[in-house]
Amino acid sequence: MTSKPIKSSNKLLTFDANKVTNIKLVWDIEELRSQDNHENSKEHTIGDEEDETGDENGPVSFHPTFSHQIFVDEIVQGYEPCKIDIYMGAGSLTPYIHTNYTLQSKNLTNVEGELLKVFSKQDPPISKQSFYEYIEEKEKLFKPVGKKIHEYTIIDKETGEETEYEVYFGRITDQTVFRYHEKLQIFVLWYIDGSSYIWTDDPNWDIFFIFEKRIIDGEKRYGITGYSTIYNFYHHPEQTRARISQYLILPPYQRMGHGKYLFNSIYQYYKTNDGFYGPVYDVTIEDPADEFNLLRNYVDLKNIIDDKLFDNVVLDLNANNKLLFEEIRKKLLIPYKQSKICLEIYLFSKLLGTPLSDPIYTEYRITIKKRLFKQNIGDSEQIEKIKQQVAEENEENLLLEQQELQELQDIENEKNGTNIKVQINKESITPPEPEKSKKEIEKDRLEEILRLYQELEYNYLKTLSSLNLTTK
């Protein structure tokens, strides 16, 4: 369906870049031919709008979530109608950009120019004819980059159809891996907010890829499904701390279970293979989003339960579990802090249905709320010291500003023969906000902790539900 403009004034037309951009992964030439036939038939149907799914035999189409790193304010301006189709070989990621619009305004967004800035410099988009030829003749020759480390099968719950997937590992120092990743990383701009490119072949970078495997015309074909980048940090004395940096399952493959397979593939690889500096000490995460935390909690807790490592824990978060957490780290590469989170979730499963007045449940809630307070609010005395320091700095800045104003006025006085003085009035320049009483501040803090705790229990319940641990 053609996207409607956000506004139209004096032929200044603006569109939501995410809505008018369609990303299409193409497996073979028949998908393109089917799509062309579908679009040609539409041209002869007067007044009939294109449906959102398009031709079911054509390539799967999906939209970006973000485009602010490509188009300013995620806006494409100056065209009507506006449609941007970005085709990529399903495996090779060979790109072709097709734009469909009629010029309507002089205030134009340079669509192709802005997109070319973020595509691979070694393998930039090609023409339509070249793309069609590539898909017909060369896409079938694509083979996954790196070394195959795992394979698995996912069964469609509705159709019962089985699809095979393979996981590959590569280091960015491998030029084949580096070049492929250069084409692949445009997806992080579209789907990971605030992400950035990896332009260097820094040897500390590892990459894990998932590829779907299909049989087309009796031949194996591969298409990208998802990937993760890992940075290797040095850990004393001769070990590696692997940190997951970017982690993405492409939209057509989300909600199918690929996230857990990729996560476990990372764990399994590092259990038996060294990182850049030596054996892997643990696997950490860089600034995980809430959705990723849910995945991580699910995978980690399931692995701990499968290894029966929580079988003998007591229902007390204040118990000394250092030896247990160290065992979990050595066996499963789960960091100490994450093991504590998994223990909180596990103990919560044991307390489901317990009255709030139960002393064990009460102590559980208090312990977690103390942790949340420390993590999100910190020591109250230290906070007051910081606030006082900021207030003093603001006052000093005010005095300096007043001095500068008086110097300027003195120059004017000398010119005009006057003797005007600048009045120093702090309140007139920066009127202070009414301060909250200590009681009000403490009330706000407690309400915030209660909110955070309710959110935490909700997320813990989601994890337990996915593990079928919500019933006692």
Residue 210 and residue 165 in contact, taking contact as beta carbons nearer than 8 Å: yes
Q: Say whether pLDDT at 7 is over 60.
A: no
Q: What is the pLDDT of residue 430?
A: 53
Give the chain's mean pLDDT: 87
Band of the pLDDT at 52, cuts 50, 70, 90? very low
- Long-range contact set of residues 113-120: C-beta below 8 Å, sequence gap at least 24: 114/70, 114/71, 115/70, 115/84, 115/86, 117/70, 118/69, 118/70, 118/186, 118/189, 119/95, 119/183, 119/186, 120/95, 120/179, 120/182, 120/183, 120/186
Element (H, E) at 111: helix 111-118
User: Which of 13-22, 266-275, 419-428 shows the highest mean pLDDT?
Assistant: 266-275
Instruction: Assign a CATH topology to domain 7-140.
Output: Histone Acetyltransferase; domain 1 (3.90.360)
Tell me the C-alpha distance between 203 and 178, whole Å. 11
Q: Which residues contact 324 (CB under 8 A, 6 or more apart)?
A: 309, 313, 339
User: Torsion angle of alpha carbons 71, 75, 78, 84, nearest 10°?
Assistant: 70
In this structure, what are the phi and psi dihedrals at residue 385, rounded to the nearest 5 degrees? Answer: -65, -40
pLDDT at 228 over 90: yes
Specify the CATH superfamily of domain 143-287.
Gcn5-related N-acetyltransferase (GNAT) (3.40.630.30)
Residues flagged as binding site for acetyl-CoA: 247-249
State yes or no: pLDDT of 44 exceeds 50. Answer: no
Q: What crossing angle do the helices spanning 322-332 and 336-351 adopt, rounded to 10°?
A: 110
pLDDT for 422 equals 58
Tell whether the model's pLDDT for residue 376 goes beyond 50: yes
Which helix (H) or strand (E) segment holds residue 449: the answer is: helix 438-466
Does 5 have pLDDT greater than 60?
Answer: no
Q: Which of 119-123, 275-279, 393-397 is predicted least confidently? A: 393-397
Q: Is the pLDDT of residue 47 over 60?
A: no
Distance, in Å, from the CA atom of 60 to the CA atom of 24, rounded to the nearest integer, reads: 6
Instruction: Determine which of 143-152, 280-289, 420-429, 451-460 has the lowest per-residue pLDDT on average.
Output: 420-429
pLDDT in tens, 395-439: 665 666 666 666 666 766 776 667 766 565 555 445 556 777 777
CB 163 within 8 A of CB 150: no
Catalytic (active site) residue 39: no
**Set 112, 151, 238, 286: catalytic member:** 286
Residue 90 to residues 108, 162, 211, 224, Cα–Cα distance (Å): 31, 19, 10, 6
CB 340 within 8 A of CB 328: no
What span, in angstroms and rounded, lies between the C-alpha atoms of 384 and 254? 46
Q: Give how far the C-alpha of residue 97 lies from the chain's centroid of Cα atoms, to the nearest Å.
A: 25
CA distance 103 to 11: 10
Residue 157 has, within 13 A of its CA and on its CB side, a CA count of: 3
Question: For the chain, what percent of residues have pLDDT higher than 70?
Answer: 82
More confident residue, 204 or 377: 204
Looking at the chain, the domain(s) classified CATH 3.40.630.30 span 143-287
3-state SS assignment for residue 212: strand
Q: What is the DSSP string of 352-405?
A: TT--TT-HHHHHHHHHHHHHHHHHHT--HHHHHHHHHHHHHHHHHHHHHHHHHH
CA dihedral 55, 56, 59, 64 (to 10 degrees): 90
pLDDT, average across residues 232-256? 97
Where is pLDDT greater, at 139 or 108?
A: 139
Tokens, residue 191: 């789907």
Q: Tens of pLDDT along 160-193?
A: 999 999 999 999 999 999 999 999 999 999 999 9
Percent pLDDT > 90 in the chain is 69
Average pLDDT for residues 453-465, to the nearest whole number? 96
Q: Within the chain, which residue ranges are assigned CATH 3.90.360.10? A: 7-140
Q: What is the pTM of this model?
A: 0.83
Query: Average of pLDDT values for 456-462?
Result: 96
- Residues annotated within a binding site: 247-249
What's the whole-number mean pLDDT along residues 309-316? 95
What pLDDT sits at residue 401? 61
User: 243 pLDDT band (50/70/90 cuts)?
Assistant: very high
Q: 230 or 418: which carries more pLDDT confidence?
A: 230
Cβ–Cβ under 8 Å, residues 96 and 128 = yes
